[in-house]
A and B are shown apart, each in its own frame.
Chain A
């Protein structure tokens, strides 16, 4: 609210006498009041967003405090590399977003559209990587709560086409945007091209993210993922899954075994201690963790937090698209850039929440 609107008389040519310019809503006295109101509204909205997420952070704190060993164990199944890349992508998108705000004030429409498009593209990369992560976990049966299938010890990567299914909508969108761009070229409308260009690139970015994610996920596999580490031991408890194994796979898995994680560290009070070496008699067997109410609950929290965050990314992409349309109409100038500024605030918050989610979920061990 303390930000003052820069004065730029060139932007003001629509103003005639006491008439309101088109960009100033009729109930506001001047652009400063309009800007302040919008900005305060956005800050309040961000407060509600933080409180909205706080419920899930509370749930996280509660269950991690109660079962620290479950969180530590399950966190190994999240791919740190992918998480780190997504963190970098979002941080970079915050930079492009802030740059977009600057460009809108300076009326550099070309840069503005470029920066908004870059932000949109980063969001798409993020979602692409996320789609790989989700589909990989679903393939392993790592579903939330009661749908959790206990396969951590005997991973059977079922070849369900989760990733393919998740890509259908982006693919349709890509085709639509490409057709839209072609339409813009055919009718020689600069406006439509300005809008469609960034959208096509953003849709392509999603598949870039998918490709990157798939590559890194398979690389992880070759190194021997934590999942395969658990392939030894605890056979008896999960005999029902055994028929799904083919022996060759099991053999291959056994070859790649490094120090096996068959026990989860926990001290006698149930409180976790990161530093001390845990005595052997105080460890919990994996089978105790590897249940719907234990690991399943962790993945519930994981999906809830990252899922709601992803929904916010999608919301952000929708408003970014709206901004691109407005920018392509040259609507922003030094006295009217509130929408860009406010979407920027929202985008930084989405980024900010991820910065908390990443260490809390991926970097426990």
Chain B
């Protein structure tokens, strides 16, 4: 506590390449990475893994859009056969959900940041952490198998009874999901225990950075919901191997039960995907507005509220599956409650910017794009939560557009914002801000061009997952395809900007944005043990004594 770190003013010479021991140079060799227990290295390995998955899933998405360039009424003209099309969208969904979005922020950024933000040396169970990374690899291998075994065509939801009869490698894919589920559970468990038992003296619950609150809420869902998915896919695998009949109508089983089980996990999983993104936005909004967060407690509570409400609304995926009328009404009403904590967050983020000194740099532009896109995604969710409207919109492109606005416009954009924000800390290199801004602009325009037309398509009755469509829809589909190509280009620019920085980027200062959370008081890149002396815990959103130092191009904390 007493140690007065003379921060950023001095460090310029000591940051010469290779002179300082950091977690990247601490040990070398393949095994030093493969067997590392360091949360930072595990986070980086996750990052590489999820980015590779994202690239794979993204290419599949572009193939889907290319296929839909033409109506494909004439099958001979179509890019892919219907069968292949089914496989492509199934793998796109499964890869994006299970391999990319769910682990993206918690496992990659969360692993890197959580212990540093807490000022600890590591997560509570470093071996378990490495174990969950290998479980992720193992699950990804199952998915790769089903990619090359070709034929998984059930959609990522594996609905019965089709998934019982499909000739695709359903068992391999479900085992992949099972293993990935345990990877996710162990990550969540690790984070909860770390936050509960390893906070430094002085860091009370309400002095935690909001990213940690969001990660904590996410971890609760991971721990409580994922086991149910585990048993569901296990029963589905048993259904296929042993013919147990629980989900098979031919054996007196009930396929709707599968949907209940599946969505009991998969709806909360939506919040596994979006909550950490919200945590990132809370950090970004505050730091890049150089102003304390507005409504700290409400944001913290709303994260937990979303996590809890998220467990009560799964039925809204099944309004047309044949539930009792009363049940559908109750689920519909509960669904609307989720909008309250979500709206609280958006309101507070905007309140944070008000009268702040907003820096329009790359992370902030992504954060602003998030607010715009997430708001559209959230508001269109109200259409789908309302029973009367949902009956018409169910399984149309409206649904596709809605969840892409939330998942991609929300989570992916926030993930990119967070990646740009913490990239200097992770790699020690500054990226080219102009290129980053260009990427954010292209992604934003491309995204809207892709998915806004899909809302219109959906309201006009274009069903999702169809490989062909009537001529009237062609213009909108082509707009969407053009947008998708643009989006792909934007993401490519973003990726290249980051890659470029690795080789040609300037040395990053300790605190390039002026953040007040603990990771910015840590050396860049962090040393193996994060902090040689325990850092002083203060208000994570107090910017009053943070000042810019033109010599280093970064900020420092005045004493």
Contact = CB atoms under 8 A, between A and B. Distances in A.
A38 B345 CA distance: 34
B125 A26 contact: no
A37 B246 contact: no
A297 to B, nearest CB: 5
A292 B252 CA distance: 8
A236 B483 CA distance: 68
Interface string B392-418: 000000000000000000000000000
Contact of B232 (A33, A55, A291): A55
Interface string A49-69: 101111110110011000100
A339 interface: no
A43 B177 CA distance: 24
B245 A145 contact: yes
A296 interface: yes
B479 interface: no
B235 interface: yes
Contacts of A75: none
Nearest to B182: A48
A360 to B, nearest CB: 16
A301 B238 CA distance: 11
Contact of A297 (B126, B224, B251, B261): B251
Q: From DSSP, what is the main secondary structure of chain A's interface residues?
A: helix
A221 interface: no
A147 interface: yes
B250 to A, nearest CB: 7
A342 to B, nearest CB: 12
Interface in B231-256: 231-232, 234-235, 238-239, 242-246, 248, 250-254
Interface in B343-382: none
A146 B239 CA distance: 9
Contacts of B252: 67, 291, 293-294, 297
A144 B227 CA distance: 23
Contact of B261 (A28, A55, A292): A55
Contacts, number: 124
A40 interface: yes
A201 B314 CA distance: 49
A36 B198 CA distance: 10
Given A27-B126, A49-B227, A297 B193 contact: no
A191 interface: no
B197 A292 contact: no
A37 B261 contact: no
Interface string A67-103: 1000000000000000000000000000000000000
Contact of A145 (B189, B228, B248, B261): B248
Interface residues of A, number: 40
Nearest to B245: A145
Contacts of A28: 198
Interface string B137-174: 00000000000000000000000000000000000000
24 contacts: A27-B124, A40-B193, A41-B189, A48-B227, A49-B227, A51-B225, A52-B227, A52-B231, A54-B227, A54-B228, A54-B231, A55-B231, A59-B235, A59-B246, A293-B245, A293-B250, A293-B252, A297-B245, A297-B251, A297-B253, A300-B246, A301-B246, A304-B238, A304-B246
Given A146-B251, A293-B252, 10 more contacts: A44-B189, A52-B228, A55-B232, A56-B235, A58-B257, A144-B242, A145-B239, A146-B245, A291-B252, A301-B244
Interface of B: 120-126, 128, 185, 189-190, 192-194, 196-198, 223-228, 230-232, 234-235, 238-239, 242-246, 248, 250-254, 257, 261
Interface of A: 25-28, 33, 36-37, 40-41, 44-45, 47-49, 51-56, 58-59, 62-63, 67, 144-147, 291-294, 296-297, 300-301, 303-304, 308
